[in-house]
Amino acid sequence: MLKQTTLVDTHTHSRYSGHGTGVLAEYIDAAARQGLWLIAQTEHMTFPFDLDPAGHIGMTYEQVPAYLAEIAAARLEHPELEIICGIEVDWLDGAEDFIRTQLQGPAGRTNAAPLNPAAPTTAAPLNPASAAPVAASPYELVLGSVHVLTDDPDAANGYWALDYDAEIAGWYERGADYVWREYLRLWLDAVESGFFDIMAHPDLPKKLGFYPSYSLQPMYQTMADAVAAAGLMIELNTSGYFMPAAEFYPGPELLAAFHRAGVPCTIGSDAHDPANVARALDQGRRALQEAGYRYLTVPRRDGDRCQIALAD
């Protein structure tokens, strides 16, 4: 199916994500004012209780029914908009069962049981063919991402957030070479898990301006080949331009590698404030064209995809 307008935003977060601001309705209103025809609300999924007991970085289990109800209310208020009920899931070592049950929404178990992150760092990637399906998920779009490493013996829960400026000391303690290697290992496990539709901000470790001493080109090719083999999408995430890295996720070289591998790409603002819905989408579309993309691919509520020509 070919649409005629690229006015979409497939990655947004409200205060349900813990560190977002503004209520969900404000994001939908902002999308309507800007003439979008589709917006995906993609709150951060509930984290294990031992990592986020107060819901600072994701929804609490108790908030999920309210989130789903507000999506339903927004659809009644804005019938002109296609509103996708989505979720962003952080991949964690040893969390496959936790993720599967949380993706069931209210039908899944609570997040009261702590997750033991002490999984071997050399664990083999999951085999998606053997993964049990997620039953009756209310989420129409699932973004996969990696924000934390499970390697901090000094932290009570074992986790370290690689993109959180308050935890920047962890970069100096571990070294950029190690962090990028561990990120890639986790990211590839996420791609192969079978849980996700889109891999969000694929080169997130650059957010705070840290790069390894080695060339990233082989890593970029590995990432592109993995996503292509899994049949997933990636996103052009415009939020990176406003971070210390001052560059979209993915950057030009990685984006070009995804294009060469035939990986379809969508676009999102990763807004955590209603004022940032659809931010820098024009610049993002130009970046896609410069990388070789001629069409934007947009996920739909029914699980299908449509293509939109990027030509001016």
CATH, residue 46 = 3.20.20.140
For 241, the domain range is 2-309
Mean pLDDT, to the nearest integer, of 36-45? 96
Q: What residue type is assigned to position 111 of the chain?
A: N
Tell me: the pLDDT tens digits for 210-250? 999 999 999 999 999 999 999 999 999 999 999 999 999 99
**8 pLDDT exceeds 70?**
yes
pTM: 0.89
233, 272 contact by CB (below 8 A): no
Tell me: the pLDDT tens digits for 172-202? 999 999 999 999 999 999 999 999 999 999 9
Q: Which of 78-87, 127-136, 169-178, 278-287 is least confident?
A: 127-136
Banded model confidence at residue 55, pLDDT cuts 50, 70, 90: low
Give the CA diameter of the chain. 53
Number of domains in the chain: 1
Banded model confidence at residue 160, pLDDT cuts 50, 70, 90: confident
Banded model confidence at residue 135, pLDDT cuts 50, 70, 90: low
Token readout for 5 is: 């307008």
Residues ≥6 apart with Cβ < 8 Å to 46: 52, 55, 58, 59, 60, 61, 64, 102, 111
**52 pLDDT exceeds 70?**
no
